[in-house]
A and B are shown apart, each in its own frame.
Chain A
Amino acid sequence: MPKIKVDGQELEVAPGRKLLDVLEEHGTHVPHFCWHPGLKPHGNCRMCLVKVNNSRKLEVSCMYPCTDNLEVTTKGPEIEAARKTVMEFLLINHPLDCPICDKAGECMLQDHTYKYRHGLSRFHEDKVIKETKDLGPTVRIWGNRCISCTRCIRFTDDVVGTGELSLVNRGDHGMADVHPDVPLDNPMSLNVVDICPVGALIDKSFLFQARVWFTERIETTCTSCSRGCNVTATMHKGEVKRLQPRRNDDVNGFWMCDAGRLDIEWLKSPARLRTARGGAKDVADQLRSAAGRVGIILSTSATLEEMFLAKQLATAVNGRIGFVSLDQGTRWVSKSGFAIETDKTANRRGAATLFGKNLGFEDVTAGIHSGDLTHLVVINAIPNLAWPEDIRDATKKVSWLAVADVLESDLSTRAAVVIPSAAWAEKDGTIVNRDGRVQRLRRLHDAPGAAVSDASWLQEVLVHLGARKTVVSAEGVFREAFPGMDYGKVGNMGSALPAIATDVPANTVQK
Chain B
Amino acid sequence: MIEINHHHRQPHTPATREFTPAVKAELEAIAARYPRREAALLPALRLLEREYGCVDEPGMIHVAKLVGVSPSKVYGVFTFYTHYRRPSDGKYSIQVCSTLTCALKGSEQVFDHLSQKLGIGKDGTTPDRMFTLKKVECLGNCDQGPCMQINDDFVDAVTPAGCDKLVDEMRNAKDEFHPPPQKYHLPPNKYAPVMIKHALEDGSDTLAHYRNRGGYETARSIIHGAKTPDEVIEIVFASGLRGRGGAGFSTGQKWKFLAKNDKPRYLVINADESEPGTFKDKLLIDRDPHGLIEGIILAAYAIKAQHSYIYIRGEFAFGAKMLQKAVDEAYAAGLLGKGVMGSQMEIHVTVHRGAGAYICGEETGLISSLEGGRGHPKIKPPFPAVEGAWGCPTIVNNVETLFTLPYILKNGADWFRSFGTAKSPGTKLFSISGHVLRPGNYELPLGVPLKELIYDIAGGIPNGKKLKAVCPGGSSSPFLTADEVLADGDKLIRLDFESLQAAGSMLGSGAIVVMDETTCMVDVCWNILRFYAHESCGQCTPCREGTGWIAKMAGRFEKGGGDASEIDMLDEVAWSMVGRTICVLADAAAMPARSIVKKWRSEFEAHAAGHACPLQHHKPPKHNKSGHQAGHQHA
Contact = CB atoms under 8 A, between A and B. Distances in A.
Interface in A156-210: 162-174, 177-182
A172 B533 contact: yes
Contact of B544 (A57, A58, A174, A182): A174
Interface of A: 43-47, 49, 56-58, 60, 63, 82, 85-86, 88-90, 92-93, 122-126, 128, 147-148, 162-174, 177-182
Given A168-B76, A170-B538, A177-B75, 11 more contacts: A45-B540, A45-B541, A46-B580, A125-B628, A126-B626, A147-B541, A148-B538, A164-B72, A165-B72, A167-B76, A180-B7
B301 to A, nearest CB: 34
B549 A92 contact: yes
12 contacts: A46-B540, A86-B541, A89-B541, A122-B569, A162-B70, A163-B72, A171-B533, A171-B536, A174-B544, A177-B75, A179-B70, A179-B71
A93 B545 contact: yes
Contacts, number: 147
B631 interface: yes
Contacts of A124: 556, 626
A147 to B, nearest CB: 7
Nearest to B60: A179
Nearest to A45: B541
B74 interface: yes
Contacts of A125: 549, 552-553, 556, 626, 628
Contacts of A57: 579
A148 B544 contact: yes
Given A43-B379, A44-B541, A171-B533, A179 B75 contact: yes
A148 B539 contact: yes
A360 to B, nearest CB: 43
Nearest to A86: B541
Contacts of B547: 171-172
B379 A172 contact: no
Contacts of A178: 72, 75
A440 to B, nearest CB: 39
B576 interface: yes
Interface string B526-550: 0000000111111111101111110
A182 B70 contact: yes
B57 A172 contact: no
Nearest to A162: B70
Given A43-B582, A171-B632, A181-B58, A63 B538 contact: no
Interface residues of B, number: 52
Nearest to A173: B634
Majority secondary structure of chain B interface residues (helix, strand, loop or mixed): helix
A57 B379 CA distance: 14
B552 A126 contact: yes
Contacts of B536: 170-172
Given A148-B539, A170-B536, A182-B61, A49 B580 contact: yes
B152 to A, nearest CB: 21
Contact of B72 (A56, A88, A172, A177): A177
B519 interface: no
A502 to B, nearest CB: 55
A497 B79 CA distance: 53
Interface in B546-589: 546-549, 552-553, 556, 569, 573, 576, 579-582
Residue of B64, B76, B374 with most partner-chain A CB within 10 A? B76
A174 B538 contact: yes
A47 B541 contact: yes
B582 A172 contact: no
A166 B626 contact: no
Nearest to B79: A168
Nearest to B70: A163
Given A125-B549, A180-B57, A166 B542 contact: no
B580 A85 contact: yes
A89 B79 contact: no
Contacts of A182: 61, 70-72
A169 B75 contact: no
Given A122-B569, A169-B634, A170-B79, A179 B542 contact: no
A89 B542 contact: yes
B27 to A, nearest CB: 19
Nearest to A94: B545
